[in-house]
Amino acid sequence: MNKIERGSFGSKLGAILAAAGSAVGLGNVWRFPYETGNYGGAAFILIYLGCVFALGLPIMIAEFVIGRSSHANIDGAFQKLAPGTQWKWIGRMGVLTAFFILSFYSVVAGWTLEYVYEAICNGFAGRNPEEFVVSFEAFSTNPWRPLIWLVLFLLATHFIIARGVEKGIEYFSKLMMPVLFILILVLVGCSVSLPGASAGIEFLLKPDFSKVDSNVFLAALGQAFFSLSLGMGCLCTYASYFNKDTNLVRSAVSVGLIDTFIAILAGFIIFPAAFSVGIEPDAGPSLIFITLPNVFQQAFVGFPWLAYIFSLLFYLLLAVAALTSTISLHEVATAYIYEEFKMPRKRAALIVTCMCIVIGVLCSLSLGVGKQISLFGLPLFDLLDFITAKLFMPIGGALMAVFVGWYLDKRIVWEQLTNDGKLKVASYKAIIFILRYIAPAAILVIFINELGII
């Protein structure tokens, strides 16, 4: 069989922090707050919690089962568990998704580095709101500057992946997750103590059900999928490095709680600060690169050193969160290449990095000078976002739920969830029921709705 040394996580804590690192990313600090702003604050948060715990966690557990029972990359996993069938195409679609997400995600991750740099040079001081818009547009459409940051970001990801599972992914997750947590707590502390911050806190805690309609449910479920890194084998690949005594259900609950907690804390950074200077929270995707640097300047007016530190820590936080996610995406593709094409891990990693640099550069250029790099009327950047988030991930998630719920031998599922009978899993039946019926049906509804088929 496979003689390649795969490696594994050295400790349970390391495994949980690595999976949580994958989940916690730009999705938490950037996307969750603006979705919350768009869809009525606390009401959205309540629905989101329902989506995470009722649907997200069972699918995460299904991914863990596939990964740990096969001890293989996402393509090899299906080939081992369902030999001679077409299920392997879910795995291959996952690898393709990893390349695509990693490429456009690294573009935005690169922007966070530019903002860290700007923050260090005190470049935000004294700008007016109009100047923040102009400077962001000039930067993101500049033909070379974002590319440098993109390449740097991918090289940092490469460096960690090339060091291996325990010395790379686990070591850096254990290092970066506590740093991220401390950064968040400091920022929340500063933000909620601003004058007028209470309006923002109220917005996050008092549900406004008047904004709730079916779109809110769709947005919440889509956000839960993205934020928990579901549907393309990231968590399968990580679970293939779990030890045999890792408690899968409990690990999934921990990852879900950490991810949700950090997303909500990110809301407690952004809304109190935004409300304290009277800026609307539903500012859309430009929130973190245009609105927030402006908010930070105005919120700490009179205390320029506080504005300086706050901005710097915030963009550092984003960069760290993005890095723990990009390594998980990179690992999906690297594990596939080194195992399926039997080559050293470092060479596989290099291939992935080079390919992502190429696709990432095209994505980045497609937002500015290279507008013609587009397909179906969408710039490459938006196209890859659309294909992965709206097509591949929901299809992958639904198929993995069906695979574990219906196809996979129930004995394997039971062995995995109970660690061969050693653990009592009270929720076993509920998990299987959700995987069989609820998850595929819910995803199908979203899918049809998002594509506007009806």
The CA angle 415-421-426, to the nearest 5 degrees, is: 90
User: Alpha-carbon distance 161 to 294, whole Å?
Assistant: 36
Say how far apart CA 434 and CA 427 lie, in whole Å: 11
Question: Closest approach of Cβ 94 to ligand TRP, in Å?
Answer: 9
Residue with tokens 């009978």: 421
For ligand TRP, the closer CB: 23 or 220: 23
Q: DSSP alpha helices (H): ranges in 206-303?
A: 214-227, 234-239, 248-276, 291-299
Phi, psi of 375 (to 5 degrees): -145, 140
CA angle at 15 for the pair 353 and 3, rounded to the nearest 5°:
60
Looking at the chain, the number of H-run helices and the number of E-run strands are 22, 2
- Rounded to a whole number, what is the largest CA-CA distance in the chain? 68
| Cα angle 269-270-276, degrees, rounded to a multiple of 5 | 100
Closer Cβ to ligand TRP, 216 or 320, answer by number: 320
Contact predicate 204/41, CB 8 Å: yes
Smallest distance, ligand TRP to C-beta of residue 26, A: 4
Nearest residue (CB) to ligand TRP, 157 versus 227: 227
Q: Which is nearer to ligand TRP, 197 or 323 (CB)?
A: 323
User: Using CB atoms within 10 A of its CB, is residue 454 exposed (0-12), middle (13-18) or buried (19+)?
Assistant: exposed
Closer residue to ligand TRP, CB minimum distance, 19 or 307: 19
CB of 92 to ligand TRP, least distance (A): 16
Residue 378 φ then ψ, to 5°:
-110, 135
* Cα(94)–Cα(117) distance, integer angstroms: 34
Q: Which is nearer to ligand TRP, 20 or 367 (CB)?
A: 20
Cβ closest to ligand TRP, residue 60 vs residue 232 = 232
- d(CA 253, CA 337) in angstroms, rounded, equals 30
Phi-psi sector, 376: left (phi>0), alpha (psi -120 to 50), beta: left
Query: Is-contact 349 339, C-beta < 8 A?
Result: no
- Give residues in contact with ligand TRP (CB under 6 A): 22-23, 25-28, 101, 226-227, 229, 232, 234, 325, 328-329
Closer residue to ligand TRP, CB minimum distance, 255 or 307: 255
| Min CB(200)–ligand TRP separation in Å | 22
Q: Comparing C-alpha atoms, which of 434, 332, 331 is closest to residue 392?
A: 332
Q: Which is nearer to ligand TRP, 297 or 328 (CB)?
A: 328
At closest approach, how far in Å is the CB of 20 from ligand TRP? 10
CB of 434 to ligand TRP, least distance (A): 20
CB of 235 to ligand TRP, least distance (A): 8
Q: How far is the CB of 129 from ligand TRP (least distance, A)?
A: 27
Q: How far is the CB of 382 from ligand TRP (least distance, A)?
A: 16
Q: Which is nearer to ligand TRP, 118 or 331 (CB)?
A: 331
**Smallest gap, in angstroms, from Cβ of residue 289 to ligand TRP?**
16
CB of 448 to ligand TRP, least distance (A): 21
Q: What is the DSSP-derived secondary structure letter of residue 285? A: G
Beta strands 378-379 and 374-375 are antiparallel
Integer CA distances (angstroms), 113 to 143, 152, 375, 417, in order: 16, 9, 28, 40
Q: Which residue, 247 or 388, is less far from ligand TRP as judged by CB?
A: 388
